[in-house]
Structure formats: structure tokens, C-alpha cells
Amino acid sequence: MTRVHISRERNSTLVKKKKAAALRQHGCLACEVCGFDFLQTYGERGREIIECHHTLPISSLGEHGKTNLKNLALVCSNCHRMIHARRPWWSIDDAKAALNGANGSRTQS
């Protein structure tokens, strides 16, 4: 049995533009959920390391839909994993709220 599949490629140029815009605006590539910055934590090895998350699932764009910079968010790998941990996927705001709620409920020792 053969299955016909429509594949949508991710645009690495758009990811580079998103990173460049963040560097111009903020001077770093920090996670939009938790603020983690790979360069600050790991030094030179962490330069330009960050994941790019589609805030609108590609599947929702339709056959001819295009992703633009406002539909992308820069997130660390941990936050990206939590966003996609189960359906329905979290929005960036959902992830921030969960993180803030968890941090607010932790006890200090």
C-alpha cells in the first residue's frame, strides 16, 4: 500500500530572521517562556542555541498558508518540550502561567 503525503518543510531562513530580530531587540536569545539564555549559561558553546516554536501549528495554515515572524517564538528545549507534552498544546502564555504558578508554589529552603 502506498500513502501519498504532503510535506511542509520548515524554513531555516525564517528561523535565522527570527533570531536576528531577537538579537537586535533584546541583545540575546533568551527563552520567551522562562528567560533561559544558552550563551549566558554555557558560554561560547551556547551561542545561537535556541529552539524556534510555531505558535500556529503548521497543520492549521492550510495548503498554501505561510508562517511569518510573528507566528514564531524562541524557546529553550525544556519549555518547548512542555509546550508539546500533550494535546492540547500550550500557548506561550499557558507555559508562562504554568511556570509562574509552579514557581509561586515552591517552598524556599
Which pLDDT belongs to residue 22?
97
Of the candidates 67, 82, 86, 91, the one whose C-alpha atom is nearest the C-alpha of residue 18 is 67
> Is there a domain that residue 56 lies in?
yes
pLDDT tens digits, 3-38: 544 444 567 899 999 999 999 999 999 999 999 999
DSSP classification of residue 25: H
User: Which residues form the domain of 72?
Assistant: 3-104
> Is there a domain that residue 15 lies in?
yes
Which pLDDT belongs to residue 7?
46
> Is there a domain that residue 37 lies in?
yes
> Is there a domain that residue 109 lies in?
no
The predicted model scores a pTM of 0.81
Distance (Å, whole) CA 77 – CA 81: 6
Distance (Å, whole) CA 8 – CA 63: 9
Q: Which residue has the higher pLDDT, 69 or 10?
A: 69
The CATH number linked to 82 is 1.10.30
